[in-house]
Every structure is written in structure tokens, then in C-alpha cells.
Amino acid sequence: MTRKLLKMADERGVTIIGPATVGGLRPGCFKIGNTGGMMDNILSSKLYRPGSVSYVSRSGGMSNELNNIVSLTSNGVCEGIAIGGDRYPGTTFMDHLLRYEADPSCKMMVMLGEVGGIEEYSVCEAIRSGKITKPLVAWCIGTCSGMFTSEVQFGHAGACANAERETAVSKNAALRHAGAIVPNSFDDLDTAIQKVYKELVSSGIIVPQDERPPPPVPMDYSWARELGLIRKPASFMTSICDERGNELLYAGMPITKIFEEEMGIGGVLGLLWFQRRLPHYACKFIEMCLMVTADHGPAVSGAHNTIICARAGKDLVSSLASGLLTIGDRFGGALDEAARQFSSAYDANMIPMEFVNKMRKEGKLIMGI
């Protein structure tokens, strides 16, 4: 399957990374998959602008560590690819190192291999033949495999040495002999990169640029919420109205559209009460009912109750009685309270002006007026 896939990719001029890979990136241009990690890691590793160092790694997890190491020891990453830990990956170290060799923006290269496979020997041959001329800092991880008496299988499918020349120690020695810069251990990888970078700066091959602070980038909502920095506000809605968005909705209709179409009170009540857009005659009927039952002029509470009972099918006497029952201190003359007030004023020998001034001073209403 892998051979068929590679053959099809070659025929179509397609570059395949992986399949077992985290991806790759070119700072300031793009990133593939989850390469580079979250936004805070991208900013701390200066992956928002291009540098001068291109790397190729077999391990995707170690590629993220390379982003950090390169950003601390140089002006940053130019391009980085993790080819994946498959025994037969879609692309090899050589595929990408030759691309970096032809890329004028790349001034030096870093290769991070591992135990298993013999691809690193192709890199050695390319250095000796002159195909690779740019400085190459290389290291193959897994040198501890020699400490075990039996064969060691690391995490990747391809990280298994079936012969002496597939061990990390043998490949590191071959790379060093071919002319690559190989540190004594992984702990010295950053020192080796920094040394080569400073030499390129001293020779004028790399011209450092002024470091500009990156523009502020908002934190991802999901990450900020997980850290407890923000919370999602509670939103309430019913089938009648919805206030969650930027615009109020009545039965699904935006409030601006209601105003634009001049739906009026009848149209709004149709949406709120019946959850649908009523025909024109129904809206007019609702508005007529509101005008008739509004408490002003002849449409006082007594008349209102009488009309309601009549519409409910009650007889005339019952309808009239329901209206009379609303007569009290606030409607219908307030006969009882008015009689008490006027009687008290009469008994006190008050003239009308004195009675009115007294009630105003006490803050009381004069019933029946």
C-alpha cells in the first residue's frame, strides 16, 4: 500500500508527509496539523515570522522541541517538517534537505534522526558528493540502545535497529565523519546549533533583523475557559422570544424586520401570543379590541366588564351586573366615601374652599370628583 501511494504521489507531483506525523510548518506562512502546539507556544517559539534555520525530524513530538531549541539559539525556524516514525515514510530526510539546500532563505539545517533505518547514510553521501553544502547539525537519538543486551524497539515503527549500522551510535559517527556537525549528546544540540549560527552571522551569511514584538493574539475561547479566565454567560430563551444573539427575535422574526414592515401592535401580539404571523384582518381586529377596551372615555371598567360578558354570551342583565360590580372608590362616583367626606366637612361648618385645601394638605383624593 505504501509503495502504491508513493508511486501515485510521484506521478502527480504530490509531497506526502507521514503518514505517522504531526505535520510541518513554515513560520509566517502556514502550519500543518497540530505542529507548533497552541498559540502561546507559537508565540514563545517565534513561529509567527521566518528565521534562517530549517529542520527535518523523524519524531513529531521532538519537532516541537526543535522549535523551542532553534528559537532560543538562533533567529528562528525557516521551515520544519516531521517525516514520521513509519518504517517507510512518504518522504525521507533527503527529500527535505535537498529542498532546504535549494531554498535561499534557509542558511543552515538541522536533522534529528533516530535508531533504526539507514536513511541517514544517504545524507552522509550527499554531504560528501557536494549535494548538501549548507551547514548541517545532525543527531540521531537512541544511543542508549547499546546499553541493552537485547534488541530495543522504541515507540516508532521504524525505531528498531536490525543491524549494527542502524544503531544511533553508528549513524552519528558516520554523519560526523561525512562533515555534519554532530554534538556529543542531545544535551549539546542547542550549543552546536548556536555555534554554527554565530559563525554564519560573523561571516555575514546571516544578517540578524531587529526583533519586533508580535501583535497581540486573543486566547482561544476553549483554552481560556478551561483555565477559568472567562465564562460563558447564561442565556435564556423561550419559544416566544429569543434574546441570545445581537438582535431580539419574536417567534424567530428579527425586531428590525418587524419595524421595517410596520407590523404594528396587532402583528407583534400575533407573534408573541400565537407564535405566528397573523393575516392583516386579524392584526386589525386585535388593535380594534385594544382601542375599544382601553380605559379612557366611555370605555371605563364598568363598560369594559359589560362588553366582555356580552361577548362571552351572557344575557343583558348578567352583563350589566358585572359592570355594576366594579363601582367603588375609584369608579362610578365613589358614593359611599364621597358621602362620608362631604358629611364630615358639612358637620365641621367648612366652606368648599376650606374643604378642598384641607384634603390637598392631607394628600387625599376627594371622592366623586
Residue 349 lies in a domain: yes
Which residue reads 367603588 in cell numbers? 328
Which residue reads 531554498 in cell numbers? 103
Domain count, the chain: 4
Residue 211 lies in a domain: no
What does each of the 369 residues of the chain score in pLDDT, given as a tens digit? 777 888 888 889 888 887 778 889 999 898 888 888 888 888 889 999 999 999 999 888 888 899 999 999 999 999 999 998 777 788 889 999 999 999 999 999 999 998 888 889 999 999 999 999 999 999 999 888 766 666 665 555 454 555 788 888 999 999 999 999 999 999 999 999 999 999 999 999 999 988 888 878 788 888 888 888 887 777 667 778 888 778 888 988 999 999 999 999 999 999 998 989 999 999 999 999 888 777 655 567 788 889 899 989 999 999 999 988 887 776 766 777 888 889 999 999 999 999 999 999 999 888 865
* 265 and 336 part of one domain: no
* 163 and 247 part of one domain: no
Is 280 considered catalytic here? no
What's the pLDDT at 34? 80
Of 160, 187, 202, the residue that ends a domain is: 202
* 54 and 17 part of one domain: yes
Contacts of 83 (CB under 8 A, 6+ apart): 17, 18, 21, 56, 57, 58, 89, 90, 91, 92, 93, 96
Residue 221 lies in a domain: no
User: What is the Rg, in whole angstroms, of the alpha carbon atoms belonging to the chain?
Assistant: 43
* 59 and 191 part of one domain: yes
Segments in 213-351 forming alpha helices (H): 221-226, 255-260, 264-274, 280-293, 301-311, 316-324, 335-347
* 300 and 280 part of one domain: no
Question: What does each C-alpha distance from 280 to 254, 267, 284 come to in angstroms?
Answer: 19, 8, 6
Catalytic residue among 156, 280, 296, 304: 156
* 130 and 12 part of one domain: yes
What's the pLDDT at 7? 85
In which domain, by residue range, is 363 found? 327-369
* 303 and 262 part of one domain: no
* 255 and 331 part of one domain: no
CB-based burial label for 327 (10 Å; 0-12, 13-18, 19+):
middle
* 313 and 365 part of one domain: no
* 71 and 129 part of one domain: yes
Residue 244 lies in a domain: yes
* 277 and 333 part of one domain: no
In angstroms, the CA 52 to CA 77 distance is 6
* 288 and 331 part of one domain: no
